[in-house]
C-alpha cells in the first residue's frame, strides 16, 4: 500500500513538483493525497490544481492564532487520510502540539548542510561563512526549527563567483533529487525516527569524497583512484 502524503507549501513549489513527478512512477511507495498552501496566491497551488491534484489553500491570515491555523491543517490532513507530511517551502512555524501529533511522520527540506545555517537565507549564510561545500538536508520535523533528525543530505560545491541566487539554484537541483529519495526511505520504513536520530536500514552508501575546489587533474572534484 502506498503511503498517503500531504505536501505543505507557501510559494513556488518546485520541491512539491519534484515529489509529484517522482510519485508518478508505479513503484514509488507514496502517493500525493493533498497539497495545502498557507497562501491562496502561491504559484505552487495553481500548478497543483492544474495537475488535477487535491489542492487547497488554508490561509494563515484567516486564522486568529497559530493554534487555530494548525488545527485547520490537522483537520484537512485527517480528512484526506494522510499518513506522512512533506514540508516544501512551507513558511509557517508550527505549534508544539501540531509537531507532536505528527512526530516521526513529518519531513522538511532545508537548503544547507544542517546543522549549519538554520533559519532564513541559508545560502547567504554559507557565502558569508566562506564554506567551499554546502548542500541540502531532509530531516524529520521537531519542535526546534531545522534541528530534527537528519534523513539524507546532498552536497554541492560553493564556487568563488557565487552569489546567493547561483548557489541557491545549484542546491535546488540537488533538492529535487534528494527530497523524493528521502521521502521514499521514510515511506518504505527504511528511515525511521528514533529520538534525536534517524535510523537507516539497507542503504547503498557511496564513499567518494567531494573536493571543492577540485583536486588537480580532475574535472569533477572526485578522487576515486584509491
- Residues labelled as active-site residues: 110
Contact residue for ligand GRF among 3, 7, 8, 15 (CB under 6 A):
15
Separation of CA 48 from chain center: 17
Cα-Cα-Cα-Cα dihedral sign, residues 117, 123, 126, 127? negative
Binding segment toward ligand GRF, per CB under 6 A, in 4-12, 142-150, 186-194, 196-204: 4-12
29-51 in b/e burial notation, b at 16+ Cβ within 10 A? Answer: bbebbbbbbbbeebebbebbeee
Separation of CA 100 from chain center: 19
For the segment 179-218, give every residue that binds ligand GRF (CB under 6 A): none
126-135 in b/e burial notation, b at 16+ Cβ within 10 A? Answer: bbeeebeebb
CB of 112 to ligand GRF, least distance (A): 9
Contact residue for ligand GRF among 5, 6, 8, 13 (CB under 6 A):
13
Q: Count the helices and strands in the chain (H runs, E runs).
A: 6, 9
Q: Are strands 84-87 and 3-9 parallel, antiparallel or unpaired?
A: parallel
Rounded distance, CA 177 to CA 208, Å?
18
135 is a site residue for ligand GRF (CB under 6 A): no
Binding segment toward ligand GRF, per CB under 6 A, in 11-19, 72-80, 198-206, 217-225: 11-19
Q: Identify which of residues 12 and 49 has a Cβ nearer to ligand GRF in the complex.
A: 12
Contact residue for ligand GRF among 3, 6, 11, 113 (CB under 6 A):
11
**Cell (9 digits) for 132:** 567551499
The binding track of 71-110 with respect to ligand GRF, each residue x by CB under 6 A or -, is: -----------------xx-------------------xx
Contact residue for ligand GRF among 113, 175, 185, 186 (CB under 6 A):
175
Q: Answer whether 117's CB lies under 8 Å from 37's CB.
A: no
CB of 13 to ligand GRF, least distance (A): 5
The count of C-alpha atoms lying within 13 angstroms of the C-alpha of 93, restricted to the half-sphere facing its C-beta, is 9
Contact residue for ligand GRF among 4, 12, 118, 121 (CB under 6 A):
12
Give contact residues for ligand GRF (rule: CB under 6 A): 9, 11-15, 44, 88-89, 109-111, 172, 175
Amino acid at each position: 500500500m502506498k503511503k498517503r502524503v500531504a505536501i505543505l507549501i507557501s510559494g513556488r513549489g518546485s520541491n512539491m513538483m519534484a515529489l509529484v513527478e517522482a510519485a508518478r512512477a508505479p513503484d514509488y511507495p507514496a502517493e500525493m493525497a493533498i497539497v495545502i498552501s498557507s497562501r491562496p496566491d502561491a504559484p505552487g497551488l495553481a500548478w497543483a490544481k492544474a495537475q488535477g491534484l487535491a489542492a487547497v489553500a488554508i490561509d494563515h491570515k484567516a486564522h486568529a492564532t497559530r493554534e487555530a491555523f494548525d488545527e485547520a491543517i490537522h483537520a484537512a490532513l485527517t480528512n484526506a487520510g494522510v499518513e506522512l507530511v512533506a514540508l516544501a517551502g512551507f513558511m509557517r512555524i508550527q505549534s508544539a502540539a501540531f509537531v507532536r501529533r505528527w512526530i516521526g511522520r513529518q519531513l522538511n527540506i532545508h537548503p544547507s548542510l544542517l546543522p549549519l545555517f538554520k533559519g532564513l537565507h541559508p545560502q547567504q549564510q554559507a557565502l558569508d561563512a566562506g564554506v567551499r561545500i554546502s548542500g541540502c538536508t531532509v530531516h524529520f520535523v521537531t519542535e526546534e526549527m531545522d534541528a530534527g533528525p537528519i534523513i539524507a543530505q546532498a552536497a554541492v560545491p560553493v564556487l568563488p563567483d557565487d552569489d546567493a541566487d547561483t548557489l541557491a539554484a545549484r542546491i535546488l537541483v540537488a533538492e529535487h533529487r534528494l527530497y523524493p529519495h528521502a521521502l521514499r526511505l521514510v515511506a518504505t520504513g527504511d528511515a525511521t525516527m528514533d529520538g534525536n536520530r534517524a535510523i537507516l536500514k539497507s542503504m547503498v552508501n557511496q564513499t567518494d569524497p567531494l573536493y571543492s575546489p577540485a583536486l588537480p587533474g580532475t574535472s569533477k572534484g572526485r578522487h576515486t583512484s584509491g
